[in-house]
Structure 1
Amino acid sequence: MTSEITLFVNPTAGRGRGARAAQPAARVFREAGFSVRTIVGEDPADAVRRVEKAVAEGTGALIAVGGDGLTGLALRAVAGTSTPLGVVAVGTGNDFGRTLGLPVRDPSAAARVAVAALTSARAREIDLGRVGDRWYGTVLASGFDSRVNDRGNRMRLPVGRFKYDLAILAELAAFAPVPYRLRLDDGPVMETEATLVAVGNGTSYGGGMRICAGARLDDGLLDVTVVGPCSRTTLLKVFPKVYRGTHLGHPVVSVHRAAKVELTAPGLTGFADGEPLGPLPLTARCVPGAVRLLA
């Protein structure tokens, strides 16, 4: 493995934590004997082009320094390649890092985890979700949660998971169940009204909401959490349980597992890794061992 690694940095992640995190992370890698190259794109498309070029040229590892959005871009560059990915999670939600049990908002500790994996030549193969040509590591959200995600992403304050709590309260005003058509693998089409359908490769979104608490990153399957139609009162009771994952036992919640999930519903946009995928219908597939992770 080459001793050169690439830091992929989002300087605006976590209200500037990305820029501040790059230096201590780079210092850890240099002290371990690695040569560090830093990439900051002019925009997401430019950043992805630069990172894909670094991967094609044989960088020893790609280290994503930012939040889930930047990590999603990094996944696009390394998925299906032999280039390992490290994550220095310093964004707002950091759900990919949380799912992997990585240090969050501690760039030096996260860099040391990556260094340990690099120097011992060990990388963990994990699954990814894929929708069309888009890869994701955490959860595909649709329904009430995608609307909350959209609103939360547009809020500047407060920081962290609390903005999503406020977004939940704001979205409740227009809350209504949605008619879904859901197909798992090649099974029959299921028609149901639902508050939301979440398709998880990982366990959480929204800064620690463990919507797919039972999801595993190496089982070749996606976890599908369906929250059926319910009142605003019930939803307010169920949602706080999401942070502990205990909502899965509620009668209004059902869980399925499949390698392929087809979602159809009117007027909804799917989000994955906190970023918009596009309007439904969408088909998500689990790709086993799609990325080598330094964890």
Structure 2
Amino acid sequence: MTWWVVVNPAAGTREPWEARVRRCLQELGLDAVVGVSSSAAHLRELVAAGVAAGARRFVAVGGDGTVSLTADALLGHPWEQPPTLGILPAGSGCDFVRTFGIPQQLEAAARHLTGEGTCPIDVGVAEGAWGRRRFLNVLDIGVIAATVRTAERATRRLGRFRYKAAFWATLPLFRTTRLTIELERRTFEGRANTVVVANGQYFGFNMNVAPRASPSDGLLDVQVFTGPKTSALVLLPKVSRGRHLAHPLVTRFRSATVEVTTAHPWPIEVDGDYLGETPVRVGLEPGALRLKV
């Protein structure tokens, strides 16, 4: 069966990903149709063309944003059975696949496209005044989302460093806020600097932000980072290793639905893409995709 492959040529670097992907798939003996997107809208057109052609197996080549957009585009079409999605990390990498042990190196990850192994995965759905967006990995609200917004305005020539530079530029100006989080069985009210709503475990270039999250359990892993914004300086090293859950400034919940309202508008990002501002409602489409593992 043919793979319908969507390549993001701007996935963090200027490397010629299309040629590399074609060569890799050919060496593995995989039949594939390869399309290169020029924009988010074009990516959706490529996915729609695959659906119209009867494809049921798709591959996203790029980072978390590319993978997230591909999933969103796929599930914008009706399916009798969940379609299959393969992921080939490219450019700045893909944190979502770390949850499944899929390598970051493209050629090594491509070997996972062989064979028949797949697993069902849930897909997050975020809704707000800015619209509706599905995601696979992590949605967050607050200082990290503000960092992503700043980084998107920076030159891509800085690579991953632009996120570090954006964080240090954002932190002094960022304001914590009072917020309300409505969950299935309880309500949280308090002041925070960040709220993470996770489907996968890793974000921010291999930070183990949700070590107990599972993309296949029908629940979102919600973490509220309370305390002053400077507490991020203490918590970030712990988050990197997944050792922050016991910290008194971190409160964790699990819920299939989450609704966040804030005293003043707060930025939101999903899978590395800035979305808009609060309020936001988050839910799940359980088992909506089958991930090629």
In the aligned structure 1, how far is the partner of 2:248 from the partner of 2:233? 15
1:157 deviation in Å?
A: 4.9
The letter of the residue matching 1:48 is R
Residue 178 (structure 2) aligns with = 179
The letter of the residue matching 2:217 is D
Counterpart contact for 1:201–1:286, Cα < 8 Å: no
In the aligned structure 2, how far is the partner of 1:97 from the partner of 1:293? 10
Q: Are positions 1:193 and 2:191 aligned together?
A: yes
1:206 to 204, 207, 210: 204
The normalised TM-score by structure 2 is 0.89
Kindly provide the CA deviation profile for residues 189-225 of structure 1, in whole angstroms up to 9, marking residues without a partner as x.
4321101101001112221222222211111100001
In the aligned structure 2, how far is the partner of 1:97 from the partner of 1:214? 15
In the aligned structure 2, how far is the partner of 1:15 from the partner of 1:256? 37
In the aligned structure 1, how far is the partner of 2:93 from the partner of 2:26? 28
Counterpart contact for 1:39–1:51, Cα < 8 Å: no
| Structure 1 residues 164 and 209: CA distance shift in structure 2, 3 A | farther
Kindly tell me the number of residue pairs found equivalent between the two proteins.
283
Judge which range, 266-275 or 23-32, deviates more. Answer: 23-32
Residue 113 (structure 1) aligns with = 112
Counterpart contact for 1:199–1:225, Cα < 8 Å: yes
In the aligned structure 2, how far is the partner of 1:98 from the partner of 1:168? 23
Residue 61 (structure 2) aligns with = 65
Residue 126 (structure 1) aligns with = 121
In the aligned structure 1, how far is the partner of 2:163 from the partner of 2:270? 15
1:36 deviation in Å?
A: 1.9
The normalised TM-score by structure 1 is 0.89
Q: Please, which runs of 5 or more residues in structure 2 have no aligned partner?
A: none
Residue 83 (structure 1) aligns with = 83
In the aligned structure 1, how far is the partner of 2:157 from the partner of 2:179? 33
Q: What's the secondary structure of 2:224's corresponding residue?
A: strand
Q: What's the secondary structure of 1:249's corresponding residue?
A: coil
Q: Please, which runs of 5 or more residues in structure 1 have no aligned partner?
A: none
Q: CA-atom RMSD, angstroms?
A: 1.9
- State how 1:133-152 maps to structure 2 within 5 Å: 133-152=132-151
Between Structure 1 and Structure 2, the one with more helix by share is: 1
In the aligned structure 2, how far is the partner of 1:29 from the partner of 1:248? 41
In the aligned structure 2, how far is the partner of 1:165 from the partner of 1:248? 23
Counterpart contact for 1:139–1:199, Cα < 8 Å: yes
